Amino acid sequence: MKTFKEISVEIGLPESTLRLYRDEFNDYIPAQGNGRRRRYGDDGVAVLRQIVTWKQEGWSALRIRDELARFRQPVARQRQRSVEERLDALALQLTALHQETLALRAEVAELRTQLRQSRGMTKRMTLEEALLVSEGELADER
């Protein structure tokens, strides 16, 4: 696996020029890692070499992209599906959390109602009634 700088020296082009080519045709250049940790295997180096050759021969970007598409599947499409799958999974998790939140809110509302009712009952009850409720006798009558 090679760094971009190593490939630039090997091909004999300035890094800036090679980066322009890489960015333009990134969908077809396999690499591992991201950012400064990105590394290119022999296949990635070969694609970059071919792009450089075509550019030096005067090929247009459209022609190069068409030629690459004839023999390679774009790398970005595979990554895109992976990102979409992860987003779908997150959407499902958010939906589940939302439903759980709604259920908890309903439960809290019910508990508040019961609390209000029990407060109302204790205010209106006499001490004797409260004792009867605690023993379960008055609860049966109501």
Tell whether the model's pLDDT for residue 78 goes beyond 60. no
Total domains, the chain: 2
pLDDT of res. 139: 47
Tell whether the model's pLDDT for residue 77 goes beyond 50. no
Q: 0.85 cut: is pTM over it?
A: no
Residue with tokens 């180096």: 45
CA separation for the pair 32, 47 (Å, rounded) = 15
Region 34-48: what's the mean pLDDT?
89
pLDDT of res. 119: 74
CA separation for the pair 140, 122 (Å, rounded) = 16
CA separation for the pair 48, 6 (Å, rounded) = 12
Burial profile 72-106: b = 16 or more Cβ within 10 angstroms, e = fewer: eebbeeeeeeeeeeeeeeeeeeeeeeeeeeeeeee
Reported as type and span, the H/E element at residue 20 is helix 15-24
- Of 24, 52, 71, the domain-final residue: 71
pLDDT of res. 114: 85
Q: Are 40 and 47 in contact (CB under 8 A)?
A: no
- Of 20, 44, 71, the domain-final residue: 71
CA separation for the pair 129, 71 (Å, rounded) = 88
Q: Are residues 39 and 83 in the same domain?
A: no
CA separation for the pair 5, 9 (Å, rounded) = 6
pLDDT-derived band at 141 (thresholds 50, 70, 90) equals: low
Domain enclosing residue 115, as ranges? 76-141
pLDDT of res. 125: 61
Region 88-115: what's the mean pLDDT?
90
